[in-house]
Amino acid sequence: MTTAWNKKGIGLNPASQIHYIDHLAVVCILMEIPLLFLEENDLLLGKKYYPGLEAVLNPYSDFSPEYLISHFDVSFMSDLWDRCVMQEKYSALEEQYNKRWRNVHCPHGFSDKGFYLAKCAMEDIALLYGDNMIDQLKDFGVWENLRNYVITGNYRYTYFKKNRDFYDSVFEKEIQSQFAKKQPIILYAPTWLDLENSTTFFDNYHQILGKLPDDYNLIIKLHPRLELDDVVTYYQIMGLYEKKPNVFFLKDYPLVFPLLAHAAMYIGDMSSVGYDFLAFNKPLFFLNKQNRDSESDRGLFLFRCGTVIP
């Protein structure tokens, strides 16, 4: 579908990252463009969980730079794609098709992780959540590298509110039904073992799961990459606790806001889910794995909004 600005756009998730779907699907709905899937399972997730999404399945064999530039004008991606690398790859095709290829970077959430955020300044066009993200880019010394950007706010939250009844129904059927009793929910959403060694899942699981009070339910929203970080420990932890009636491990699940809306409190580390949870004005607890000073460390800015656990 042609967008209002007369460019034919397409959403792309070339590495089939499940946690990107929640971000790309909403952008594509707002822009009235299709989201192209390369895996059928991902396509089914898109169709199931995102009302209004035009989900398209495309085989790997047809997926190439020439296919994209011959059918579209601009891509929307959550993967990092340095504009210099992109221009080098597409320069010959741009001349052949007499058009300039553009790419819009859609961050998969907003967090205080510096290594990833700093790289988005080298994107062709970047979507920015707001002033805090701009301040981060300036603090990292990369703001001047950013050429084109659009300030969007948290469009996923806006989309969730518009479809609240639908998502409440999904939550009741798929999440609430997993617990033996209906009682206050704690959401634990650890990030993965990234370049900053951010995850607390492998270090703190016993403190959270082993000491969970009986009168609370606990959802552990597992980052898709945690399984790859330590396969053995990952499944050992699940094996220890998955049969508890008030514990539910949520694996390969793209939705975020339906969980936040029904959680009484949040426990996290450096995941972007913590920033999303601010919209609900509920208690946040942060695991300070590396004992950094949240009052002076710009990289722990979100921790100032909750209770820090050493």
Per-residue pLDDT for 3 more than 60? no
pLDDT (tens digit, 9 = 90+) per residue, 36-94? Answer: 999 999 999 999 999 999 999 998 778 899 999 999 999 999 999 999 999 999 999 99
pLDDT for the residue 306: 96
> Mean pLDDT score of the chain, rounded to an integer?
94
What is residue 2's predicted lDDT score, i.e. its pLDDT? 44
For 174-211, give one letter per residue: b (16+ CB within 10 A) or e.
ebbeebeeeeebbbbbbbbbeebebbbbeebbeebbee
Res 134: pLDDT: 96
- Both tokens assigned to 251: 């694996």
Say if residue 4's pLDDT is above 60: no
pLDDT at 287 over 60: yes
Structure confidence at residue 115 (pLDDT): 77
pLDDT value of residue 5? 61
Phi first, then psi: give them for residue 134, nearest 5 degrees.
-65, -45
The sign of the CA dihedral 136, 138, 148, 97 is: negative
Q: How far apart are CA 102 and CA 126, in angstroms?
A: 11
- Of 236, 243, 278, give the one whose Cα is nearest residue 257: 278
The average pLDDT across 202-221 equals 96
* Helices (H), ranges, the chain: 18-31, 40-49, 65-71, 83-97, 114-117, 131-139, 155-162, 164-174, 201-205, 226-229, 231-241, 257-262, 273-277
In our burial notation (b when 16+ CB lie closer than 10 A, e otherwise), range 35-56 reads bbbbeeebbebbeebbeebbbe
State the SS3 of 276-288.
HHHHHCCCEEEEC
Axis-axis angle for helices 164-174, 155-162 (nearest 10): 80
Q: Tell me if 112 sits within 8 A of 301, measured CB to CB.
A: yes
Q: Is the pLDDT of residue 135 over 90?
A: yes
Mean pLDDT for the stretch of residues 232-256: 97
Range of lowest pLDDT (164-173, 195-204, 239-248, 275-284)? 195-204
pLDDT at residue number 1: 42
Report the 10 Å Cβ neighbour count for 109.
Answer: 22
Q: Is 248 strand, coil or helix?
A: strand
Side-chain-side CA neighbours of residue 216 (13 Å):
17
pLDDT exceeds 60 at position 122 = yes
Q: Rounded mean pLDDT of 256-282?
A: 98
Mean pLDDT to the nearest integer, 160-172 = 99
Window from 76-85, 181-190, 194-203 with minimum mean pLDDT: 194-203
Provide the pLDDT for residue 197.
84
Classify domain 9-158 by CATH architecture.
Answer: 3-Layer(aba) Sandwich (3.40)
Q: CATH 3.40.50.2000 region(s) of the chain?
A: 166-309
Query: From 2.40.110.10, 3.30.930.10, 3.40.50.11540, 3.40.50.2000, which CATH number describes the 166-309 domain?
Result: 3.40.50.2000
